[in-house]
Structure 1
Amino acid sequence: MSGVSKSTISLIETGETKRPSYATWRKIAEAIDIAPSVIINAFVDTTHHPRTLELILAEVITEGWEALVSKVATHYLESPKVDTFRALDHIDRTARDTENKRIKRILWDTIINFTRSRGIPSYLANALYERYLIERDDFARFEETYRRGKELLLYVEHLYVEDRIDYYYKMGVHANILDLHDESIDLCRLGLREDRSDSRPKASAYISLFNSCIYFGDFHIADIYLKEYENSKYADFRKNHFRATLLAKKGQHEDAISLFNVCLNETDREGRISIVVDLMESYLQAGKTDDLMLLLETEDQFLPEKMPQHPYRIKTLAQYYRRKALCLISMEKYDQGFHSLIESIKYYKHIGITTEVIEGIRLFLRHHRTNNKNLTFEHMELIENICDNIL
């Protein structure tokens, strides 16, 4: 019934065969209806044979058995019958060849835990880098991913130069989105120090440096980085947007407003929301509330049609809805304002910026209190749902 000969079964039963092959165990398990995962879980504890463990690892990855992936990979790395570096290379190749991102992350985590405990910095650095690239796309854990990514700073010299520069740039942009401007400047400058090329990541780093310098009021340095961005062949429509932003920060609001409107006319719908956010601030600073309200009435021309796939644009949407909310509340349009504030909080939660989620809830409650407005049950439920899993 199992396809295993009676003599083999007899040897197993009498104990003469103490360690039957994996193939034998699988056949017997299938015959008596034992789940393969149960057999694998037990069998892995009894073997150190490299080729067998490699075959089992391939199987559990194919089947998507995540808990077993970690166990088999760890057992393989710890096997005394395989050279440590050969084993690490095999897990590394396996992780790169695996399409399932969750399993990729499990394999990189396995390498990280193994190499961290044994002091193998080159493999540790590479695994930390690869894990960061995967986790960076999980917007809901954006803050956590940045904190985890910082561990690589301890081993970054072990990365290839190209990967090291890429890491600095990505972390610099990441820090900028999280408003960690000191760290963003330091990380982007580390990348620029080693990079002699002109590339899209480098252009993004110049944008982050510009934004951080604007945040600190260093307009002269911001202008230097803006010129570097403008000279890149990867500069796009945003160069006029940033030039208008610099004018606005210098108090030249009429010139800034004029250039912001030029940018809006030259940019497609998906790229307009960040321009609108800065234009709203200029209208407020210049006291042009009527123009601001006219702008808000044209939402269908600048709000993206679907959820953006970049955290910076999601953050910009959150900023737009918060700014819109405060404007509406100041004009006593409370229901519309509170709705926009909730939308802002939702977008901040989507990219996992917990501090801004909490700030949004604080503003929501404060404006209800100061304007003598009662919280509706609907709003209570929304806030309760938003608070779920934010910490």
Structure 2
Amino acid sequence: MSTVAAKPKCLGELIQHYRQRKKMTLAKLQEAVGIDKGSLSRIENSEVKRPDFQSILSIAAVLDIPHNDVVEKYIEIGHKSEVVYTILQNELTTLEYPSLIPKIAAKFLQAPNEDSLYLVGKLYREIDSIDIDSIKLSLYDLILDYSRSHGIMPYIAKSMYQRYLIERNDFSRLKETYYSGKYILHYIDFLPQDEQLELHYKLGVHAYNLRFYSESIDHCKKVLAEDGGQSPYKIYALGVLRDAHFGIGEYKEAEMYSIQYKQFNYPHTHEQVVLMEALFHAKKGNTAKAIEQLWSFLDTCSDIFVLSATRHLIQLYLEQNNTEGVKAVLENSKISSSILDNTNPLTYYGYAEYLRLQGEYYLAIGEYDNYISHLMKGALYFSKINDTIKEKECLNMIIRSHIEQNIPMHKATLEKLSSYYVKSANKMEG
């Protein structure tokens, strides 16, 4: 009959277990770590209430005790908050054992005879120095749960807000994280004024990225109403209001906000104004003037505006059925996927639109393979920001062109579509 060794229940048992497994006597361990046998014996028998942490680490190193195990058992003993906090800071410095960090932080929050507001505030301030988002999220979640159970409203709001700022950068969950961000509005009065403004602005941008233009306008108007000065958020909100009104065809309002926006000398303000003036000309029917301005703009604009100007130029030429104009734009274009910014979903949307418009051009000149290829690439980049409407629009264009215009769909095309749908299904399951 086989027996399974009992799992060590405490720090002393853990040390004894590994010492016996190495067949090391207390005398040998004393020689290795410089701690007398009597003290080692008392540690193993849990007779030392709070052994020195560095001494325990020395013992663990000699006995090859896994770091995770020894730290977890050590913090279970019950220490003052300062001791646990020091251990937490050490782990945050090395980041070698990330799974330990939320466990140590939880023990820190459980420190007896300490003010809960003091503890949660101290932990919250420590998180800002961490560079790894997964660790930050685990700690903000810990603070959120702790604050809810203790009724600490400011840190309920703060932890949700910080979690939103991280999660909104996951483009595959843009809609989901937008709604989680909106939920924070129920707690917004518990945030300081600067964070209230930032939240309204971030939600305004987020809504704009999702093409929820009316909601974007509501959020950004909050920024204007509540910002008594001229913070960057107020100026940037003017730009979003201009673009959101433009997006729903309210060009008079868009021009009004454009006039207000161009009064400020912020980075790229002038370039945005010039680009928008060209788009306003196009909407007023002065397409020739708009095209002239966009070509001129492309000669001088910063890299971040090249994509937007190029795709608007292609769009205008396509509306005129001017394939030679599109050809000239594409021959002049050096745009590639390298322009994508992992912190800005609008670059993904813009690049996907650029590919879709190229697809329309290739259809117009009868290059069907290029047409299908570019639409599929466009669909792929729309999917990266979870824009299922535009993704399906690209794929549907391929199918409709086959049905309505009798464009041949060869086996290779069907295989590409099949492969795309398989990848899309796997992505949804994953």
Task: Please report the TM-score for the alignment, with normalisation by the length of structure 2.
Answer: 0.81
The amino acid across from 1:255 in the alignment is: K
Offset, 1:242: 1.1
CA distance in 2, matches of 1:115, 1:380: 49
Tell me the matched-pair count: 390
- In the alignment, structure 1 residue 385 sits paired with structure 2 residue 423: yes
Which residue in the other structure is 2:186 paired with?
154
Offset, 1:252: 3.1
Could you report, residue by residue, the CA deviation over 1:8-58 in whole angstroms, capped at 9, with x for unpaired residues? 232244454466454454333222211111122233334253122112212
- In the alignment, structure 1 residue 339 sits paired with structure 2 residue 354: no
Which residue in the other structure is 2:62 paired with?
31
- In the alignment, structure 1 residue 321 sits paired with structure 2 residue 355: yes
Percent of matched pairs sharing the same residue? 27
Offset, 1:254: 2.6
Which residue in the other structure is 2:135 paired with?
103
CA distance in 2, matches of 1:101, 1:211: 31
CA distance in 1, matches of 2:194, 2:124: 19
CA distance in 2, matches of 1:53, 1:349: 45
SS of aligned partner of 1:155 = helix
Which residue in the other structure is 2:251 paired with?
219
Aligned pairs (5 A) from 1:48-197: 48-64=79-95, 65-197=97-229
Could you report, residue by residue, the CA deviation over 1:261-289 in whole angstroms, capped at 9, with x for unpaired residues? 23223314442110122222222223323
SS of aligned partner of 1:297 = helix
Distance 1:56 1:389, change over 3 A: farther
Which range is displaced more, 27-36 or 136-145? 136-145
Distance 1:338 1:35, change over 3 A: same
Offset, 1:219: 1.7
Contact 1:4/1:28, CA 8 A, preserved across alignment = no
Offset, 1:240: 1.7
Contact 2:326/2:361, CA 8 A, preserved across alignment = no
Which range is displaced more, 198-207 or 74-83? 198-207
Q: Which runs of 5+ in 2 are unaligned?
A: 1-31
Task: Please report the TM-score for the alignment, with normalisation by the length of structure 1.
Answer: 0.88
Structure 2 residue corresponding to 1:260, chosen from 275, 278, 294: 294
CA distance in 1, matches of 2:375, 2:417: 11
Which residue in the other structure is 1:42 paired with?
73
SS of aligned partner of 2:114 = coil
CA distance in 2, matches of 1:367, 1:72: 60
The amino acid across from 1:280 in the alignment is: I
Contact 1:352/1:390, CA 8 A, preserved across alignment = no
- In the alignment, structure 1 residue 239 sits paired with structure 2 residue 273: yes
Contact 1:273/1:304, CA 8 A, preserved across alignment = no
Offset, 1:84: 0.6
- In the alignment, structure 1 residue 293 sits paired with structure 2 residue 327: yes
Distance 1:81 1:223, change over 3 A: same
Contact 1:272/1:303, CA 8 A, preserved across alignment = no
Which one has more relative contact order, counting CA pairs under 8 Å at least 6 apart? 1
SS of aligned partner of 1:233 = coil
CA distance in 1, matches of 2:33, 2:425: 54
Offset, 1:157: 1.6
CA distance in 2, matches of 1:5, 1:183: 70
CA distance in 2, matches of 1:361, 1:42: 56
Distance 1:22 1:113, change over 3 A: same
Offset, 1:364: 4.5
The amino acid across from 2:192 in the alignment is: Y
CA distance in 2, matches of 1:250, 1:117: 58
Greater gyration radius: 2
CA distance in 1, matches of 2:79, 2:392: 51
